[in-house]
């Protein structure tokens, strides 16, 4: 049997990335580059248009424990002897919540007077939803509260 280079198939992607992905800080992330074409196929990963791996047979990119600095746009390059192809970018966002800053504060007002309560400062992504409690009971928002 004779091997013919004209039977070689250039690389092509079986799937393209979907919408932005949001993953929790500290979790494991596995990005997969599903491509086909004549073997051997080699893969390289980019983050924000900068190479983060060299070409290798590994079609997955694994981040064992996500950090905030891992946020960005990822894409893979696949190549074989017939050419190379750059995948569309996939956006990875890292969700996190820092600690409340400022501690407990007490506000005293006279009966009938308004009290303005400000949300505590907190570093997070996405923005947290706040629920206020009074004497252990959830305060239901209304035109008065």
Answer yes or no: pTM beyond 0.85: no
Cα within 13 Å of Cα(3), Cβ side: 4
- Asked if the structure places residue 111 within a domain, the reply is yes
Q: Are 33 and 59 in contact (CB under 8 A)?
A: yes
Domain containing 106 — which CATH number? 2.60.40.10
- Asked if the structure places residue 144 within a domain, the reply is no
- pLDDT of 3: 52
Distance CA 93, CA 96 (A): 10
Distance CA 9, CA 21 (A): 31
Q: Which domain holds residue 32?
A: 9-139
- Asked if the structure places residue 1 within a domain, the reply is no
Q: How many C-beta neighbours within 10 Å does residue 21 have?
A: 14
- Asked if the structure places residue 2 within a domain, the reply is no
Got the DSSP string for 17-44?
A: --S-EEEETTS-EEEE--EESSSPPEEE
Number of domains in the chain: 1
Tens-digit pLDDT string for the chain (145 aa): 445 555 789 999 999 898 999 999 999 999 999 999 999 999 999 999 999 999 999 999 999 999 999 999 999 999 999 999 999 999 999 999 888 776 667 778 888 888 777 777 788 888 888 787 878 888 888 777 6
Output the CA torsion sign for 2, 8, 14, 19: positive
- Asked if the structure places residue 145 within a domain, the reply is no
- Asked if the structure places residue 4 within a domain, the reply is no
Distance CA 20, CA 104 (A): 36
Q: Are 56 and 21 in contact (CB under 8 A)?
A: no
- Asked if the structure places residue 17 within a domain, the reply is yes
């Amino acid at each position: 049997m004779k091997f013919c280079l004209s039977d070689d198939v250039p690389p092509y992607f079986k799937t393209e990335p979907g919408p932005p992905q949001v993953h929790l800080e500290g979790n494991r992330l596995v990005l997969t580059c599903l491509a086909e074409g004549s073997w051997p196929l080699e893969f390289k990963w980019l983050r924000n248009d900068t190479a983060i791996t060299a070409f290798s047979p590994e079609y997955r990119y694994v981040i064992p424990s996500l950090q905030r600095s891992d946020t960005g746009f990822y894409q893979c390059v696949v190549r074989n002897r017939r050419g190379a192809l750059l995948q569309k970018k996939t956006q990875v966002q890292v969700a996190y919540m820092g600690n409340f800053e400022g501690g407990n504060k007490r506000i005293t007002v006279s009966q009938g007077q308004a009290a303005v309560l400000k949300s505590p400062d907190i570093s997070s992504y996405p923005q947290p939803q706040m629920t206020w409690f009074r004497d252990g009971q959830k305060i239901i928002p209304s035109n008065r509260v």
